[in-house]
Amino acid sequence: MGYPISGRCGVALALVLWGTAVGWLPPALAAEPVVDKKAFMVNDYRYEPPEGATANLDIGLSLCGTRCHALSENFASYIKPGGWRLIKIAGNVTIRVELNNPFLGGQCVCVGNEYKIDWYDAATYRDRSEIRTPAVE
Amino acid sequence: MRENVLLSNRITLWRVALLFLATLFVQPPGSLAAQDISDLAPAEIIRLGEQMYLKGLLPSGKPMQAYVSGDIPMEGTSFTCVSCHLHSGIGSFEANIATPPTNGRILYQERKPYIKGFENVPSYHRYASYFPVRPAYTDETLAALITTGFDPTGRSVLKVMPRYDLDDRDTAIMIAYLKSLSDQFSPGVSENEIKFATVIVEGVDPAAVAAMLLPLENQINRKNSQALTYQSSPRLARMANNVMGPDLGAKKFSLARWVLKGAPETWRAQLDAYYRAEPVFALLGGISDGEWEPVHRFCEENRIPDLLPQTDYPVLSNSDWYTLYFSRGVRQEGEAAARYLHSMYDLFAGRAVVQVVRDGRVGKALGEGFREVWATTGHPAPVEIVLPEGEALSGERLRQIVAEHKPAALLLWDDATVLAALEGLPDQAGRPGMVIASSSYLGKEMWNISESLRDLLYLTYPFRLPQEEGRFDVALKGVLAGKNPSDYDQKILRRSYIVGELLSKSLVQMRGEYYRDYLLDVVGMMADSVFPLYERLGFGPGQRYASKGCFIVQLGKGANPQLERRSEWVTQ
């Protein structure tokens, strides 16, 4: 599911993707997309109804709350033996997504901060992360 | 303002002084104890006392008269003993507000700022230090406390507890009841052991039974190893002592398997026989593909706690006490769907909501859940179509339903065979904006929903999303050590893991008071914890259905799709 990204991260992402496509970025960087190392955490959102249409703004805003919060990284799911920390790298990043509701058009504007996930050195810990339990279905 | 405060304080002091004088002159010491209730059978005394304690009703059936803050009259039904002292009478401890025990065994002992034998156990010591010292109660001083609000030291408790207008006979009944309350440890507890059992209904897939048993037996084995260590290593014993106290640390646990065979009507006799042969303190987990009601009734009537059995059909009751369920079962998904659609009903522009229900236990439960919650919203009733059992819904029949009713939303409470009928629906004119199905009813086939249906089909999903569940793998690894994880159903395994965790946390908080009611009281006081599988499990006082929510999700695109949430955790 793609969505347009504005702000500094959008420029960085575009550069990385373009660089990867033309093949002049180092293989290691190309193999590890920058987006995998960032976490987006929403802290505000708003609903933008389709132009010229009358829309229920209250329901739109409520649905955008769910839509935008679903984009937030759930850092509670990070499991690494050494632990991690989040370093803020960009504030007030805006992400626009389609509302995707069958009864209501428009877009959600999700505003949040971007963080770099800084994994601690796990060398001194026994890494058992390769042992995975099957997914819950 | 300050004058008002002073005036108010003066009035309160006068009230207290007058009430204290009333205890001296109006209630001569000894008169209450002398009241003879020997004309009542012991069981009747307990029944009447329990009625006063739990419901605030006098033996005559009339509400007890309570006075709050000394002289503000209120009905005793609003200020029942149980609401603060809890079912066990051992008292409560919530949000730094401590209510002392009111069972006879503790009331008739002198209270010191420590608990003898547990002076060096931090949790016991902190608890004991919350309450002021007092001498042991006698029948007379206890009667004075109940009717006037003054304890044997002359200290008023009227700020925190009502006084009750009881005559001598009713007071004597209440005191007799308090003496019986949490008097002897519950059956299944001995000096060295606590016995538990789990109920397994014959016919359940053995792999599911194994997944249910593994975490429970792991927990029991760990506890028993720890008890052995406790006995053999003084240094480790001190560590366990700091957390659990000397008593729980040294106790061993056992887990019996009570296998129920045959028709549910015969289960009660089997349960009675198991219980006669070996009384247990509580039932842990348990598993059934269908009925659970006979086990529920057995637990109610024998006052045995059953912690979180794995059943899709919990007994729904607002008053039963002894069985704590994970949720209200599959009907909770129907309820969540109703709340979700209600949140956007204004967008439906008057179009109907159609509910197609498979005539079977799962379908009916989902349909009832939806119907009951939908009725509370004030919207027009949904169009209901019942699918006879054994007759698959065809694509043609589904198109007819859609053409006839032109629904805004279509609820399909059916198993995975319904997915074939949905093919082609996305291209039909006048199709519903969304189709909602139950992930529990679809089962693992939900992961095979075709790409063409994924935009249209919404699912009720009563668990944490799988992609966010990974953090609990670490905890489960201890249980699965040496085992092949894929041999075990992860949902059953995780549910059972929760039972073990809940049990160990509760027993530590019970401080050696091994009463069944207190186990449930402690679970009710437990702060929300983060457990596997469920987004939120809450064990509020008296609540019997721990998970109250459900997500509405859609399946994402691609060969290995994730669930994408379309709602927050929709709760009751």
The confidence score (pLDDT) of residue B128 equals 85
Please report whether residue A6 resides in a domain: no
pLDDT of B21 higher than 50: no
Tokens encoding B410: 């279509």
The three-state (H, E, C) secondary structure of B59-83, written as one string: CCCCECEEEECCCEEEEHHHCCCHH
Please report whether residue A127 resides in a domain: no
Name the band, by pLDDT with cuts 50, 70 and 90, for residue B11.
Answer: very low
If one counts the domains in chain A, the total is 1
The confidence score (pLDDT) of residue A81 equals 65
Q: Which residue has the higher pLDDT, B249 or B494?
A: B494
**Cβ of A133 and B447 within 8 Å?**
no
Arithmetic mean of pLDDT, B337-359: 95
Interatomic CA distance for residues B419 and B439, integer angstroms: 12
Q: Name the residue range of residue A58's domain.
A: 37-119
Residues in B lying within 8 Å of A, measured between beta carbons: 343-344, 346-348, 408, 433-434, 444, 446-447, 456, 463, 466-471, 473-474, 476-477, 480, 485-486, 490-491, 494, 533, 556-557, 564-568
Arithmetic mean of pLDDT, A16-33: 38
For residue B409, what are the contacts with CB-CB under 8 A and spacing of at least 6?
B341, B348, B353, B354, B432, B433, B434, B435, B436
Q: Which residue has the higher pLDDT, B467 or B287?
A: B287
**Cβ of A70 and B466 within 8 Å?**
no
Question: CATH 3.40.50.2300 occupies which residues in chain B?
Answer: 193-327+468-525, 331-461+553-571
CA B411 to chain centre: 30
Q: Where do we find the tokens 């589904």?
A: B398
Nearest C-alpha of chain A: how many angstroms from B461? Answer: 10
pLDDT of B135 higher than 60: yes
**Cβ of A136 and B567 within 8 Å?**
no
pLDDT of A3 higher than 80: no
**Closest CA relative to residue B530, chosen from A40, A67, A77, A137:** A77
For residue B440, what are the contacts with CB-CB under 8 A and spacing of at least 6?
B312, B330, B333, B362, B460, B462
**Cβ of B490 and A133 within 8 Å?**
yes
Report in angstroms the alpha-carbon separations of B94 from B98, B128, B132, B181, B521: 7, 15, 18, 21, 11
3-state secondary structure of A77: helix
Query: For B11-15, B248-252, B305-309, B315-319, which range has the lowest pLDDT when averaged over its residues?
Result: B11-15
Residue spans of beta strands (DSSP E) within chain A? 38-48, 84-98, 107-119
pLDDT in tens, B114-133: 888 788 888 788 888 888 99
Name the band, by pLDDT with cuts 50, 70 and 90, for residue A29.
Answer: very low
Q: Which of B471, B477, B566 minimises the CB distance to A66?
A: B566
Nearest C-alpha of chain A: how many angstroms from B488? Answer: 9
The confidence score (pLDDT) of residue B71 equals 82
Name the band, by pLDDT with cuts 50, 70 and 90, for residue A63.
Answer: very high
pLDDT of B9 higher than 80: no
pLDDT of A104 higher than 90: yes
Q: Which residue has the higher pLDDT, A136 or B486?
A: B486
Interatomic CA distance for residues B382 and B269, integer angstroms: 43
Name the band, by pLDDT with cuts 50, 70 and 90, for residue B5.
Answer: very low
The confidence score (pLDDT) of residue B475 equals 80
pLDDT of A33 higher than 70: no
B316: number of Cβ within 10 Å? 13
The confidence score (pLDDT) of residue A36 equals 53
The confidence score (pLDDT) of residue B504 equals 92
How many Cα atoms within 13 Å fall on the side-chain side of residue B300? Answer: 12
The confidence score (pLDDT) of residue B223 equals 92
Q: Which residue has the higher pLDDT, B24 or B344?
A: B344
Residue B567: list chain A partners with CB under 8 A.
66
Please report whether residue A26 resides in a domain: no
The confidence score (pLDDT) of residue A6 equals 44
**Closest CA relative to residue B213, chosen from B172, B250, B258, B147:** B258
Q: Which residue has the higher pLDDT, B112 or A11?
A: B112
ipTM of the complex model: 0.73
Q: Packing angle between helix B206-232 and helix B473-480, nearest 10 degrees?
A: 80
**C-alpha Rg value of chain B to the nearest Å:** 28
pLDDT in tens, B92-110: 877 677 899 999 999 999 9
**b/e map B409-445, b = 16+ CB within 10 Å:** bbbbbbbeebbebbeebeeeeebbbbbbbbbbbbeee
In this complex, is the C-beta atom of A94 within 8 Å of any C-beta atom belonging to chain B? Answer: no
CATH class in words for B331-461+553-571: alpha beta
Nearest C-alpha of chain A: how many angstroms from B504? Answer: 24
Arithmetic mean of pLDDT, A110-133: 70
Interatomic CA distance for residues B466 and B486, integer angstroms: 15
Tokens encoding B50: 């329990």
What percent of chain B clears pLDDT 90, i.e. is strictly above it?
70
3-state secondary structure of B210: helix
The confidence score (pLDDT) of residue B3 equals 43
Interatomic CA distance for residues B177 and B165, integer angstroms: 17
What percent of chain B clears pLDDT 70, i.e. is strictly above it?
94
**Closest CA relative to residue A38, chosen from A88, A81, A83:** A88
The confidence score (pLDDT) of residue B511 equals 87
**Cβ of B466 and A136 within 8 Å?**
yes
Taking CA–CA distances from B433, the nearest residue in chain A reads A102
The helix (run of H) or strand (run of E) holding residue B564 is strand B563-565
B279: number of Cβ within 10 Å? 15
Name the DSSP class of B185. P
User: What is the DSSP code string of B489-502?
Assistant: -HHHHHHHHHHHHH
Within B314-359, where are the H helices? 331-343
Arithmetic mean of pLDDT, B284-300: 96
Arithmetic mean of pLDDT, B294-300: 98
Please report whether residue A115 resides in a domain: yes
Name the band, by pLDDT with cuts 50, 70 and 90, for residue A27.
Answer: very low
Please report whether residue A130 resides in a domain: no
The confidence score (pLDDT) of residue A129 equals 54
Asked if B460 and B570 count as a contact pair (C-beta separation under 8 A), the reply is no
The confidence score (pLDDT) of residue B294 equals 98
Please report whether residue A17 resides in a domain: no
pLDDT in tens, B365-408: 999 999 999 999 999 999 999 999 888 999 999 999 999 999 99
pLDDT of B194 higher than 50: yes
Interatomic CA distance for residues B104 and B174, integer angstroms: 11
Interatomic CA distance for residues A108 and A103, integer angstroms: 15
pLDDT in tens, B38-72: 889 999 999 999 999 999 999 999 999 999 887 88
Interatomic CA distance for residues B545 and B16, integer angstroms: 43
The confidence score (pLDDT) of residue B470 equals 81
Topology adopted by domain B193-327+468-525? Rossmann fold (3.40.50)
Q: What is the mean pLDDT of chain B?
A: 89
pLDDT in tens, B495-528: 999 999 999 999 998 988 999 999 999 998 887 7
Query: For A65-74, B26-35, B48-57, B106-115, which range has the lowest pLDDT when averaged over its residues?
Result: B26-35
Asked if B532 and B475 count as a contact pair (C-beta separation under 8 A), the reply is yes
The confidence score (pLDDT) of residue A122 equals 58
In this complex, is the C-beta atom of A53 within 8 Å of any C-beta atom belonging to chain B? Answer: no
Arithmetic mean of pLDDT, B196-219: 96
